[in-house]
Amino acid sequence: MKSTKEPVQNAPVIKDRATVTLSPQLVRSRIGKVCVAIIGSTPAEMIEKAQEAVREHTFFEFRLDYLPTPLTALPKLKQFLYEHSDVTAIATCRRVPGGGKFKGTIAAELEILEKAYLAGFHLVDLEIETAQSLKKGQLEKLRSHGGALIISAHDFVATKGLDATFEKIQQFHPEFVKIVSTAKTLSDNVTMMKFLERTRDLADVIGICMGEQGLISRVLGLRAGSVFTFASASVGEETGPGQIAARTLEETYRIDSIDAATKIYGVAGNPIKHSLTPAMMNTAFRRETVNGVCLALQASKLSDLLTLVRDVPISGLAVTMPLKQEILPELEKTDPLSGKVGACNTVVRSQDGKLYGFNTDVSAIVRPLERRLQLKGAKVLVLGAGGAARAAVFGLKDKGAEVFILNRTVETAQKLARQAKAKTIKRDQLAKTSFDVIINATPAGMHGVKLQNVLEPKEMNTRFVFDLVYNPIDTPFIRMAREKNIPVITGAEMFVQQGARQFEIWTGKPAPEEEMLRVVVHNLRQRAEAARQAKA
């Protein structure tokens, strides 16, 4: 939702609530799909953040419990709501026992919420623990001020007993029932969404799973029946574990366009938080008008992932470590490359529910090289002997290249060399050996990995350097090559190539490679700048 209303300059301070009182029915008609949580350590800071957010949104939750003295903020918030009459606002002052920050009494909380109604707030959020402890008449007094009431329950441990919690809240007859659990597994999201489907015709329900594994519920909950979802105003201002920034929800996950026909895809692995696959794939879906969305799936167990694939259902997966090998026995059939390499990074779910696997890592390594040189007869050094190295070695051997493997564990290199009919090389031979390409297939230089370099400059005797690490975009290996004026191929190009083939397998459409590369490079540069500023 976009707000085009300009703030009223020198607006008179309103003296009563009569001009902004809305019935619960009218409140329902005003709310949007995404409620943006506004925080601040002072009233001025909260207003400043709201003024920034109102440029793009008109549905807010003001977390009054983040303020040392919430009552002092209400006059400023009253003025803000008067100036922005198109804004719909929730007042929340959650006490510490309910997972909030307010250290006051229940009576103090009620006073703040009552005065929030009078200041122009359209909804107030009252936790179930507070509602259950109220004396006769206290809740009626709160509701007598008009507006709508949300009664919420938060479980910071698990996702369980959702129906029982729903019944407890319904006893108070609120306009909105809000149930927030914690996802410990991917399938906890399925539990939440099935609950939403059961209750969507019984009440206006907001249902969300917190935690990194709760992303699915935040994106797909609306489709299952949640009236709206919550988002942070920006990255770093989350009011709950796993909360997503509003812009990410809208631009990356396209939450406004998700409907019953939207196909769901995912990138699955552990860890997965920093994966750029969702941003890349969702950009491609938008560019090619595909009704699909790609989610990051934090999968600690393969069995949990397979439950999600079956129950959501998931139409396709991009599989990352450590599941590339583990998933093979679960597939109905794979392409020949997956069998050779012993790893699958792309899965398609057929209409009958069977899973088919492909390996796009091989072509993602081969194609960038084929654009630059003739691979038949080329002399290539592959550093490493893990999954990425296996894809490089088998792919290059298939193209007729002469492949050498260098790995810290000699036995692992020798085993791979035997399987692929390649060769091994000793470290002390590198300085006097030249290659057409040197490929880094180790994690060296990767964000979060301590090991920075696997070669010395004197050992980098080659026409081209290819680093399969894509985050950061300028790895120590790439920088070393540039210092020696050696042409480089970055991991971003490989990353986009494997994603482009996945997109084509999933959709049957040509991938918009340039657009995919643009968004990946943009995100990597943003991360690099953020890291630089954090160090400064």
User: What b/e sequence results for 157-177 when a residue is b if at least 16 CB atoms lie within 10 Å of its CB, and e otherwise?
Assistant: eebeebeebbebbeebebbbb
CA atoms of 79 and 47, how far apart (whole Å): 10
Please tell me the number of Cα atoms within 13 Å of 143 on its side-chain side.
17
Other Cβ atoms closer than 10 A to 334:
21
Beta bridge partners of 423: 404
CB 117 within 8 A of CB 147: yes
Indicate which residue of 49, 178, 324, 340 is catalytic. Answer: 324
Distances (CA, A) of 419 to 8, 389, 391, 424: 73, 13, 12, 12
Q: Cβ distance 260 to 239 under 8 Å?
A: no
- 200-203 long-range contacts, Cβ below 8 Å, gap at least 24? 200/224, 200/225, 202/170, 203/166, 203/170, 203/176, 203/177
3-class DSSP state of 480: helix
Instruction: Cite the DSSP H helix spans in 288-405.
Output: 302-311, 336-341, 361-370, 387-398
Phi then psi for residue 384, to 5 deg, are 110, 165
For residue 324, indicate whether it is catalytic.
Answer: yes
Q: What is the DSSP letter of 134?
A: P
Distance separating alpha carbons of residues 430 and 423, to the nearest angstrom: 14
Q: Is the CB of residue 292 less than 8 Å from the CB of residue 264?
A: yes
Strands (E), 64-194: 88-92, 123-127, 148-154, 176-182
d(CA 262, CA 223): 10
Which residues are annotated as catalytic? 324
